Amino acid sequence: MLIQRSVVAKALHLRYFTQSAVATLLQAFQQEIPLTYLEGFPKPDPKYDETIRAIPRAASGSNISAKERKKGRVPSIVFEQEDGQHGGNKRLISVHTNQIKKLVNHLGRSFFLSRLFYLEVRPDFESDELIEKVRVLPRMLHLHAGTDRVLNVTFMRAPSSALLKVEIPLVFRGEDVSPGLKKGAYLNIIKRTVKYLCPADVVPPYIDVDLSELDVGQKLVMGDLKVHPALKLVMPSEEPVCKIAGARVSDQRKSK
């Protein structure tokens, strides 16, 4: 599906799209970039498709949040997007602790924060009445430092018209054939996530980093990463991602 002029015109009048976001839409329209997952790029695994269940929460505050956690619920918020960050139209909700814990454990924290879910808000978890059903992106996840218990989750609404800033995790591949690593060098990982401005319909679950041709001393920078053409890097393209470094001193001593 290509960006239509009506979508661009609508974006020009929505307060939560910045000039840079509109420029991205216009550029995508001019270049006729398809806003669908393309062959050769990562796409979400349907194995983890899940609707997150939620109930309204009347008020916020530390005491209320503590009571929610004792009941097996995670105090949460759903925001509108604004420049890919927090915006208006805030809804206070609570979600099932066990459901969020399961998703985080299965996916991993970084991968949970780069995956879209449908969220259903009902008067109570067993009710047939639907208050709101919306596609969302988990924006922030607050875990207890000692136990990793889920304390808070923040979601952003992610309709097709949304542009979202997403910290996308990196997956390193080709270590077994990298010339540098085969010579005894080691992989120095500098970045494990990279931030992109993503149209909501093509948020990648991760980005592949190909190490198969890297020799000793060579590195990859953010501009080297291969991503969907609709994504816009919002970090300096020359920032390093990883490097094939020479053998560690301890390894050299062991080989003597």
Among 76, 77, 118, 89, CA closest to 15? 89
Query: Residue ranges of the domains in the chain?
Result: 1-33, 46-157, 161-256
Out of 26-40, 59-73, 162-176, which region has the weakest mean confidence (pLDDT)? Answer: 26-40
Residue with token string 């550029």: 27
Q: Give the contacts of 242 (CB within 8 A, at least 6 positions apart).
A: 172, 187, 188, 189, 190, 191, 209, 211, 219, 220
Query: Is residue 6 over pLDDT 50?
Result: no
Q: Report, as an integer, the average pLDDT of 205-229.
A: 96
> Considering only the top CATH level, what class is 46-157?
mainly beta
Q: Report, as an integer, the average pLDDT of 105-134.
A: 95
Q: How many CB atoms lie within 10 A of CB 214?
A: 23
Which pLDDT value is given to residue 161?
85
CA 203/CA 192 separation, integer angstroms = 17
Return the percentage of the chain with pLDDT > 90, whole number.
Answer: 70
Quote the distance between the C-alpha of residue 138 and its chain's center.
7
Q: What are the backbone dihedrals phi and psi of residue 13, each rounded to the nearest 5 degrees, phi first?
A: -105, -5
Q: Report, as an integer, the average pLDDT of 166-189.
A: 96
Q: Report, as an integer, the average pLDDT of 142-159.
A: 92
Among 176, 190, 189, 186, CA closest to 236? 190
Query: Is residue 222 over pLDDT 50?
Result: yes
Q: Is the dihedral angle over the CA atoms 160, 163, 169, 171 positive or is it negative?
A: positive
Query: Is residue 208 over pLDDT 60?
Result: yes
Of 173 and 5, which is predicted with more confidence?
173
Which pLDDT value is given to residue 218?
96
Which pLDDT value is given to residue 248?
55
> b/e string for 60-88 if b means 16 or more Cβ within 10 A?
eeeeebeebbeeebbbbbbbbbbbbeeee
**Mean pLDDT for the chain overall:** 85
Which pLDDT value is given to residue 8?
45
Q: Taking the model in full, what pTM does it have?
A: 0.81
Q: Report, as an integer, the average pLDDT of 13-39.
A: 59
Q: Report, as an integer, the average pLDDT of 215-230.
A: 96
Instruction: Confirm or reject CATH 1.20.140.10 for domain 161-256, answering yes or no.
Output: no
- The bridge status of strand 117-121 relative to strand 51-56 is parallel
Query: Is residue 182 over pLDDT 90?
Result: yes
Of 31 and 81, which is predicted with more confidence?
81
